[in-house]
Structures are given as structure tokens and as C-alpha cells.
Amino acid sequence: MGRRLQIAVIGSSKSICTKKAYRLAEKVGEEIAKIGAVTVTGGGHGVMEAAMKGAKKHGGLTLGILPWEKMENHNKYCDALVATGIGWSRDAINLNSCDGAIIVGGGAGTLNEATYAYIEDIPIVALTTSGGMAKTLTGIYFDERKTEKILGAKTPKEAVRKLLEEIEKKRKKSKRPGLIQRKRDY
């Protein structure tokens, strides 16, 4: 018996989140919930809120990892919260608490999270149709080590499927214990 898969959704905060990125993030959250995985975000608004909202539509479990020291200013779709009190350094906790990440839109903060995922060899898929950093980072490696190539996907369903494939490759390579995947498999 293993634990539930945990997928981070990283992307645009409320101040730069387009309506399109919000809708796509909501669909990503729905797809994550359909496979029985936990949706992990920074707990804020914009893409984070949208992904959790989508997950809740399908009975999914959500975890918000806040930069603040108190459990406030989070979106209403968080089931559980971690108030880190370490500001934006909490990005490391977000990525260390996931098996893989999906980028939706995004700006400088998203770039920071993607870079951390790269350094830690965490699979990343970018939803290219959402614009922002997702579009910019698709298909690249951050340096000559070629740790993780940021894969692109055109739809939320494709993004989750590709991420699951990459997570499975890593699991087989590292011989980690299995993860629980409920409901449907891609």
C-alpha cells in the first residue's frame, strides 16, 4: 500500500492570471482529482485557486502551502494548509511536497518554482496553451546537466497524462514504493 500521488499546480497569481489561464487551471485540478491525486498549490488566488476549485468539483483533496505565518489569506478551496512563515522560500516546500508539477501561465514566481523543480529532478509539464512561463519554458532544459526537460501539453488532460508517465519513469528508476492511484488511470 502506498500513499496518494501529489501533483503541484504552479502558475499565475491573481494579479497576472488571465481568464484563460484560470479556466485551464480549473480543468487541470479536475483531471488531478479524477485520478485520485492530491492537488498541491501555494494556497493563494489565481491559478492556485482555480486548480483547487477544479479538484473540489470532483471530490479531490487539496493542500495549500502558504508563504505566511498564519493560516489566513488563502483561497476557499484549501482542505489542508501549511503556514510556513518563510515567505516565497516556501516554493521549495511546494515542490518537495509533490511527485511532479504542472505549469499554468505564470511569471517570475513560477519561474522560481520551475527552477527548483529542475534542480531537484522533479518532473514538470507546462500547459503551453495557458501562455506565460508555461509557453516560454516548454521544451527547454535550464542548463547543460539536462536534469529535467520541461515537457509541453496542449490540454489539461494531456498535461496530467504526460506528468503521470514521467512520474512512473522516475518511480521505476528509483524503485520507490508505489503510489496509490484511484479512480482511473491514463
CATH code for position 126: 3.40.50.450
Does the residue 157 lie in any domain?
yes
> How far is it, in rounded angstroms, from Cα 79 to Cα 121?
27
Residue 27 inside a domain? The answer is: yes
* Position 37 in a domain: yes
> Per the domain annotation, does 66 fall within a domain?
yes
Q: What percent of the chain has pLDDT over 70?
A: 93
Q: Which domain holds residue 53?
A: 3-180
Helices (H), 120-155: 132-137
Cβ contacts of 63-71, under 8 Å, gap ≥ 24: 63/6, 63/38, 63/39, 63/97, 65/40, 65/41, 65/90, 65/93, 65/94, 65/97, 66/42, 66/90, 67/42
Q: pLDDT digits over 20-79, tens only?
A: 999 999 999 999 999 999 999 999 999 999 999 999 999 999 999 999 999 988 999 999
**185 in a structural domain:** no
Averaged over 4-22, what is the pLDDT? 97
Answer yes or no: is 102 within a domain.
Answer: yes
> Which residue reads 468539483 in cell numbers?
57
> What number of H helices and E strands is found in the chain?
6, 9
**Within-domain flag for 93:** yes
The total of other beta-carbon atoms located within 10 Å of residue 111's CB is: 17
In a domain, 186, yes or no: no
Q: Where are the alpha helices (DSSP H) in the chain?
A: 19-34, 47-57, 91-96, 108-119, 132-137, 156-174
Question: Domain total for the chain?
Answer: 1
Task: Note the pTM of the prediction, 2 decimals.
Answer: 0.93
- In percent, the amount of the chain with pLDDT more than 90 equals 87
Sort 128 into a burial class: Cβ within 10 Å, 0-12 / 13-18 / 19+. buried
* Cα separation, 37 vs 22, whole angstroms: 20
Which H or E run includes 40? strand 38-41
**Nine cell digits for residue 142:** 535550464
Question: Using an 8 Å Cβ cutoff, are 129 and 119 in contact?
Answer: no
Look at residue 181 and tell me whether its pLDDT is greater than 50. no
Let me know: does 39 contact 9? Beta carbons within 8 Å: yes
